[in-house]
Amino acid sequence: MIPWMPVAGWLKAILGFGLLILVHELGHLLALKWRGFPVFAFSLGFGRPWCRLRWRGTEYRVGWLPLGGYVLSENPDAPESDRGPEQGPLDQFLVAFAGPLANFLLAWTLFFVLIGGMGLPQPIPVVESVIKQGPGAQAGLHPGDRLVEMNGVRVRTWDEFVRLIQVNGARAARLTVERGGRRQDLTVTPRAEGNRCVVGVVPTQAPVQPANWSRAVGLALTRTLTEIRQVVAGLFGMLFAAEGGEVSGPLAIIDHISQAAASWLSFLTLLAILSINLGVFNLLPVPPLDGIRMVLATVQAVRRRPLEERILFPIYKWGTVGLGLLFLLVTLKDLRGFF
């Protein structure tokens, strides 16, 4: 029999992942309407719609493959004479940027609610979840384990634990944990990812700095900007480091969210961080992400005319193929992790 909590956690995770996509596509939708352009279709999910509703000239769809979404400003099957007004470079740039911006605003909103309602969420040296097939899982770490010592050095905060991992490097280390009121020694070998080492565990989030609602506005903004900088730095490290880091696909992301679903604080904090990740990822200048649309809009503004079809077609063709292959590879990696 499948335990109720994992099933409930996965349902909560799917809804959370869907929220990130919904907010992103809503950003594009609202930007189009703000700039005065009609919206033909708004879809949450890809593939043939299993649910559709037309309201105020826009068809709202739910596709059978819930791994993304899209917004169509015009009917692709309509003749050229029936097409709507052409979007200028500024319109294209703003509409493309609105998706990532919506994800950043969602993250700020979640941090604002968390900080004002529960306190500033900070990681503590208690295992929230363990990454499948990671060093922590191989060492026998369990959710709920409190990290007490590493190589005999006391662990008082999560940051101290991270520093001890870097000092130890990718060598076997003695890790003391407290489980069920009893201490236990484990042997863990951190894994090198670029210029850092990781153990493969997600820390528990706990409110350690309560704040009133007025202070929560600024603290939430600071936390959001900090997370954006960290995601950008991690992305550059993954792209340009000699050894790339681990890349998670949608299945692994949903699994991480489901493991954090038992605690509302951890669940909403992870959603905020993933929303920032989704926003930053979509700013990459790779077809068919929003970043390439922003770059092409800028090029069009400079040239005072759009790029020719003979140039655009191979950019979108091979960029989309490359992104599709990456998606397939990380999904296969996620599936191997589950088995």
Domain ranges of the chain: 91-119+210-339, 123-204
pLDDT at site 1: 36
Q: Quote the CA–CA distance of 292 and 317 in Å, as a whole number.
A: 13
The residue type found at 156 is: R
**Which amino acid appears at position 164 of this protein?**
L
Domain 123-204 has CATH 2.30.42.10: yes
Distance from C-alpha of 121 to C-alpha of 269, rounded to nearest angstrom: 7
**Three-state SS at 306:** coil
Pairing of strands 173-179, 182-188: antiparallel
b/e sequence 283-313, b meaning 16+ C-beta within 10 Å:
beebbebbbbbbebbeebeeeeebeeeeeee
The model's pTM: 0.74
CB 177 within 8 A of CB 148: yes
Q: What is the pLDDT of residue 38?
A: 87
Rounded Cα gap, residues 259 and 134, in angstroms: 15
Tell me what pLDDT residue 57 has. 82
Residue 51: what pLDDT? Answer: 87
| pLDDT on residue 8 | 65
Distance of CA 219 to the CA centre of its chain: 21
The one-character DSSP state at 198 is E
pLDDT means per 10 residues in the chain (339 residues)?
54 81 94 90 86 88 82 73 75 94 96 86 87 87 93 93 92 94 93 84 80 87 91 70 50 60 75 89 86 90 80 69 64 53
In the three-class reduction of DSSP (H, G, I as helix; E, B as strand; rest coil), residue 146 is classed as strand
Query: Residue written as tokens 């500024």?
Result: 90
Spatial distance between the Cα atoms of 311 and 292, rounded to a whole number of angstroms: 13
Tokens (6 digits) for 21: 């996509």
